[in-house]
Amino acid sequence: MGRLSITSAMHVISASRRTDIPAFHARWFMNRVAAGYATVVSPFGAKVHEVSLAAADVIAVVFWTKNAGPIVPHLEELTQRGHCFTFLYTINNYPSSIEPGVPKLSRTLEIVETLAKRFPSSKMRWRYDTIVLTETLNASWHLRNFGQLCRTLAPYTSECIFSFCDYYRKTVRNMDRHAPDYRKPGEEESRFLAQELASVGHQWGIGLASCAHDFLVSGSITRARCIDPRFLADVVDTPARRDALDRLKPAPTRKGCDCAASRDIGAYDTCAHGCVYCYANTDAELARRNLGRVSPECECLHPWGEKISGVVK
């Protein structure tokens, strides 16, 4: 199958909803920035696209991560190459039974502090995502945990994007296997917990925004926009980039999503955090195997991307 033409109009790079590029693919990402493009296999229909990573074509890079540590040493180079970037940083502080591969909170806070000091223009946003309820991780646990996180993160962010777990088929399978005491809260319980979390956040100057769950939007809880032109306007550095942000169209990725258009360069089943609630992995073992198939020298993060695109290296 041949490739589709390269995306060259100014665009936001999403890196990535499908995998944790900063944690597991930092060297790959920087190689692709140096090359000026990445190859992406669409998860729907396996069409192959080339996405420009040239600074002249990229409005900003939005990093989605639970561990920015591996990419921190590369951010000076990314800046020198003319790129602007920001972080959507998921910090849940779950036990290792739920998030086995995520760094301890103390290490995460060290990284967040480093980002704030060295790259203040990146303006990190915090995600408390996704909210999982079990016999142990009940509403009381979440309120205590969220309060602790608000206290420690208040110097670095004023917004928390949150969501309750969406139980896709593969999510249910993994939860049944690794957290069999989980339960799905109803709308009334979700509204109550969300409002309680919002009250805790308010005490620390942190506003809550609901991601793709409009029924939770009320009072002090706003509608989240993870790819948000208004937010990115304070991250980018040129009038051309701000003008390009104004031209971005809505491009929801699922029901209730309010995101603007972006180009995602990730691939599913290539993140080794092993979070049991994750929608982006079929299972943790497959993701670990796929990591071994993706070289930093590849054009594409899809484990079979080179074969699909017809490129032989």
Looking at residue 115, its pLDDT comes to 97
For the stretch 171-190, pLDDT in tens is 999 999 999 999 999 999 99
Looking at residue 65, its pLDDT comes to 98
Lowest-confidence region among 226-230, 281-285, 296-300: 281-285
pLDDT above 70 covers what percent of the chain?
A: 95
Q: Is the pLDDT of residue 7 over 60?
A: no
CA distance 120 to 37: 26
Q: Quick count: other Cβ atoms within 10 Å of Cβ 254?
A: 10
Beta strand 222-223 with 263-264 is unpaired
Q: Would you state the structure tokens that stand for residue 71, as one six-digit string?
A: 């990419």
Q: What is the mean pLDDT of the chain?
A: 93
Looking at residue 45, its pLDDT comes to 75
For the stretch 27-65, pLDDT in tens is 999 999 999 999 999 888 778 999 999 999 999 999 999
For the stretch 116-147, pLDDT in tens is 999 998 899 999 999 999 999 999 999 999 99
Looking at residue 305, its pLDDT comes to 63
Q: Is the pLDDT of residue 309 over 70?
A: no
Looking at residue 165, its pLDDT comes to 95
Looking at residue 311, its pLDDT comes to 40
**CATH numeric code, 3-308:** 3.80.30.10
- What are the domain boundaries of the chain? 3-308
C-alpha angle with apex 88: 84 to 89, nearest 5 degrees? 125
Looking at residue 310, its pLDDT comes to 45
Q: Which residues contact 150 (CB under 8 A, 6 or more apart)?
A: 160, 200, 201, 203, 204, 206
Of 27, 154, 177, give the one whose Cα is nearest residue 91. Answer: 154
> 100 and 274 in contact (C-beta within 8 Å)?
yes
Looking at residue 9, its pLDDT comes to 83
Convert 263-286 to b/e letters by CB count within 10 Å (16 or more is b): bbbbbbbbbbbbbbbbbbbebbee
For the stretch 207-260, pLDDT in tens is 999 999 999 999 899 999 999 999 999 999 999 999 999 999 999 999 999 999
- 3 bridge partner residues: 48
Looking at residue 71, its pLDDT comes to 98
pTM higher than 0.85: yes
- 125 bridge partner residues: 88
> 55 and 238 in contact (C-beta within 8 Å)?
no
